[in-house]
């Protein structure tokens, strides 16, 4: 299927669409290249329609839902761009993308929100990091770096264990949800459990208008966005790790003596495991 065929598919159903569905369809056709990076919430807001209208439109034109529709668009986009991509310097293009994402993330991060996140982690008895897939690996890396400076934290890889751990949190604890899209079902579900248990919620995401930001008390934005075919992209992980590094540095700055003591203790604990 090509982009033209998708556009024609939308147009072939156009006369049978409702007024609001036509409004959504018009926006999609005019912004095909951007749609693959939007959540359903973002698209609905940009098109000035309800989320249910977007979902209904996708089903009317033959897709099972919005994600299925985005996947089709992403596949078409790859087919169109592949020849042009080959002609570009991969090293230059990739490096430029990394620099751009890090700079945009710097601009998106709100200093006040970062300060609140640092204070929330420092004042919590326990901090749990939640994520699945690639973001789950970021959650594990968060535990690695924060444990070394004396922060009591954990991350579970299994979503069922995540849910159980979330249910045991309370108002003295903090939950950090990590999701590029902000719409990952398992992560959203477990953050909902943590919030209901009374924990303070921090989210790290690239979508300001997404289910996870609605749940969060503190929102830390990154610029990196993934299309349906770009899950686990390195650039997205770089943006997430950059946020973690900022929090890590800020926490050390706040309590340097404790952090240094913890660093020495944790380093000593594993020294004998090296040749």
Burial class (CB in 10 A: 0-12, 13-18, 19+), 52: exposed
Cα–Cα dist 266/275, whole Å: 17
pLDDT computed for residue 3 by the predictor? 45
pLDDT computed for residue 36 by the predictor? 84
Q: Where in the chain is the domain with CATH 3.40.50.10490?
A: 93-271
Q: Which fold has domain 93-271?
A: Rossmann fold (3.40.50)
pLDDT one-digit tens code per residue, 55-71: 999 999 888 989 888 88
Pair 145, 155: CB distance under 8 Å: no
- Specify the CATH number of the domain 3-87: 1.10.10.10
pLDDT one-digit tens code per residue, 146-167: 999 999 999 999 999 999 999 9
pLDDT one-digit tens code per residue, 107-128: 999 999 999 999 999 999 999 9
Name residues whose C-beta falls within 8 Å of residue 161's C-beta, 6 or more positions apart in sequence. Answer: none
Residue of higher predicted confidence among 71 and 7: 71
Q: Where in the chain is the domain with CATH 1.10.10.10?
A: 3-87
What average pLDDT does this structure show over 88-98?
79
Q: Is 221 helix (H, G, I), strand (E, B) or coil?
A: strand
């Amino acid at each position: 299927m090509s982009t033209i065929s998708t556009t024609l598919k939308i147009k072939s159903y156009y006369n049978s669409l409702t007024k609001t569905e036509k409004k959504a369809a018009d926006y999609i056709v005019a912004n095909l290249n951007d749609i693959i990076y939007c959540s359903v919430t973002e698209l609905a807001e940009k098109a000035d329609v309800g989320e249910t209208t977007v979902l209904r439109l996708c089903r009317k034109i033959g897709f099972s839902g919005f994600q299925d529709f985005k996947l089709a668009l992403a596949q078409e986009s790859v087919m169109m761009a592949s020849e042009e991509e080959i002609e570009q310097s991969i090293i230059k293009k990739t490096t430029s993308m990394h620099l751009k994402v890090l700079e945009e993330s710097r601009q998106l991060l709100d200093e006040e929100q970062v300060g609140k996140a640092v204070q929330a982690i420092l004042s919590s008895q326990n901090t749990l990091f939640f994520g699945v897939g690639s973001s789950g690996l970021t959650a594990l890396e968060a535990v690695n770096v924060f444990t070394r400076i004396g922060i009591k934290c954990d991350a579970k890889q299994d979503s069922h264990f995540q849910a159980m751990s979330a249910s045991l949190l309370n108002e003295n604890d903090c939950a950090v949800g990590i999701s590029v899209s902000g719409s990952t079902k398992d992560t959203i579900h477990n953050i909902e459990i943590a919030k209901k248990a009374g924990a303070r919620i921090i989210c790290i995401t690239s979508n300001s208008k997404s289910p996870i930001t609605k749940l969060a008390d503190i929102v830390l934005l990154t610029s990196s966005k993934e299309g349906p075919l770009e899950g686990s992209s390195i650039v997205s992980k770089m943006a997430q790790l950059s946020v973690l590094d900022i929090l890590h540095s800020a926490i050390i700055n706040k309590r340097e003596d404790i952090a240094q003591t913890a660093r020495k203790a944790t380093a000593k604990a594993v020294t004998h495991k090296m040749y």
